[in-house]
Amino acid sequence: MRIPFNKPFIPWFSFVYLVRGLYSGTVAGNGKYTKKCHAFFEKRFGFRKVLLTTSCSDALEMAALLCRIEPGDEVIMPSFTFMSTANAFLVRGAKVVFADTLPDVPDIDPAEVEKLITPKTRAIVVVHYSGVACDMDRIMDIAARNGLFVVEDAAHAIDSYHNGKPLGSIGHLGTFSFHETKNIISGEGGLLIVNDAEFEKRAEIIWEKGTNRAAFYRGEIDRYGWVDIGSSFLPADLVAALLYSQITRFDNIQSRRKKVWYAYQQLLRSLEEKGLLKLPVIPGYATVNGNIFYVTLPSAETRDQLIVFLKEKGISALFHYQPLHSSIYFAGRHDGRELPNTDRFSDTILRLPFYNTLGKRRLRYVAETIAEFFRQGSPGKNLSS
């Protein structure tokens, strides 16, 4: 049996929307399907304003521009994240300051954030790892007391909530990803979420290469021109058409993905009870959105040997981020602080195969194969000891 790590969900009706997009009259950006996607997200989640982007990386770069990040500014964020989170602010000249994660959840620790604030701090960037909310009440309180912007990197977190509020809607700005490994997809693609009126008009200008062309197309001005800095952040409308085909089945996709997540939780619980691994911890303020499922192993050696064992059995499982603070690029720029929780999660997290068509038989096979690995005897310290 072969079980891939990911299998993009591209049903037959996706092609219908692509053909419709081709004949809609606009295949460039900001066409019919872009507007349909915008309307869905604003209505479904109550976002003030959204803008489709070519990637979540671009949405983060827009966020940095909107926060007017300049050389010398400091931006606090987790080291346990994809490099795009940091790149977006580094290219504006910011000094990135990495905070450690919580001990039991690979999300940024608000207490660590507060320790790192200086007069130069401009923004806090949180990453809702695997769709599990950061402690946003504490983060927003810290930001308010210090006059800081908050950007939510919610790449994993569509349809996930913090105390009933959709992730992406709590900070001043938020971002989603529609990469092929995410819940709904467009191959590549992202979304900028604007929650503060201060950013609303400028976001659209930056999105349209620094021009007020969007206002011109709405008939609000008689000509458009270059009025600010920006770039071509908007995707082709065909990308939006593919995304919209997913949106039409959004609830169905979410239902299936959550079933996969909870099936893994049930199937692997006995291994956690034996102290062989740990399942994801979901704080009381957070929800599950079926983005990924990971387990935490006793050691890096155990994790790496389990990856090999699963591969030999036809199962593709992966580790996740290598800490940015110790990366080849950033190690010399880091201030030398140890981030023990970040390092431990990076060494021991294992992401299991996850896609919404992953059936019960294959889920059981993954769980049984992991159990077989431990029965054969694995290295590392028992988590219950």
Is residue 289 located within the same domain as residue 342?
yes
Total structural domains within the chain: 2
Is residue 154 located within the same domain as residue 293?
no
Please, are residues 53 and 189 in contact by the beta-carbon 8 Å criterion?
yes
Is residue 183 located within the same domain as residue 212?
yes
- Alpha-carbon distance of 306 to 252, in angstroms, equals 32
Predicted local confidence at residue 379, as pLDDT: 53
Predicted local confidence at residue 383, as pLDDT: 53
Is residue 256 located within the same domain as residue 177?
no
Regions in the chain scoring below 70 on pLDDT: 378-385
Domain boundary among 247, 265, 291: 247
Q: Is the dihedral of CA 208, 240, 90, 172 positive or negative?
A: positive
Is residue 129 located within the same domain as residue 207?
yes
pTM of the entire predicted model:
0.95
- Whats the size of the chain, residue-wise? 385
Domain boundary among 229, 247, 265: 247
3-class SS string, the chain: CCECCCCCCCCCHHHHHHHHHHCCCCCCCCCHHHHHHHHHHHHHHCCCEEEEECCHHHHHHHHHHHCCCCCCCEEEEECCCCHHHHHHHHCCCCEEEEECECCCCCCECHHHHHHHCCCCEEEEEEECHHHCCCCHHHHHHHHHHHCCEEEEECCCCCCCEECCEECCCCCCEEEEECCCCCCCCCCCCEEEEECCHHHHHHHHHHHECCECHHHHHCCCCCCCCECCCCCECCCCHHHHHHHHHHHCCHHHHHHHHHHHHHHHHHHHHHHHHCCCCECCCCCCCECCCCCCCEEECCCHHHHHHHHHHHHHCCECCECCCCCHHHCCCCCCCCCCCCCHHHHHHHHHEEECCCCCCCCHHHHHHHHHHHHHHHHCCCCCCCCCC
Q: What is the pLDDT of residues 213-269, one digit of tens each?
A: 888 878 888 888 999 999 999 999 999 999 999 999 999 999 999 999 999 999 999
Domain of residue 331, CATH code: 3.90.1150.10
Is residue 203 located within the same domain as residue 275?
no
Is residue 147 located within the same domain as residue 194?
yes
Predicted local confidence at residue 378, as pLDDT: 56
Is residue 159 located within the same domain as residue 293?
no
Predicted local confidence at residue 385, as pLDDT: 42
Helix axes 237-247, 32-45, angle to 10 degrees: 40
Assess if residue 307 is contained within a domain. Answer: yes
Is residue 92 located within the same domain as residue 168?
yes
Query: In which domain, by residue range, is 363 found?
Result: 250-375
Domain of residue 190, CATH code: 3.40.640.10
- Alpha-carbon distance of 74 to 46, in angstroms, equals 31
- CA 18 vs CA 14, 22, 239, 242, 356: distances in Å: 6, 6, 8, 6, 22
Assess if residue 55 is contained within a domain. Answer: yes
Domain boundary among 231, 247, 263: 247
Assess if residue 382 is contained within a domain. Answer: no
Is residue 241 located within the same domain as residue 255?
no
Q: What is the pLDDT of residues 113-169, one digit of tens each?
A: 999 999 999 999 999 999 999 999 999 999 999 999 999 999 999 999 999 999 999
Assess if residue 178 is contained within a domain. Answer: yes
Could you give phi then psi for residue 254, rounded to 5 degrees? -65, -40
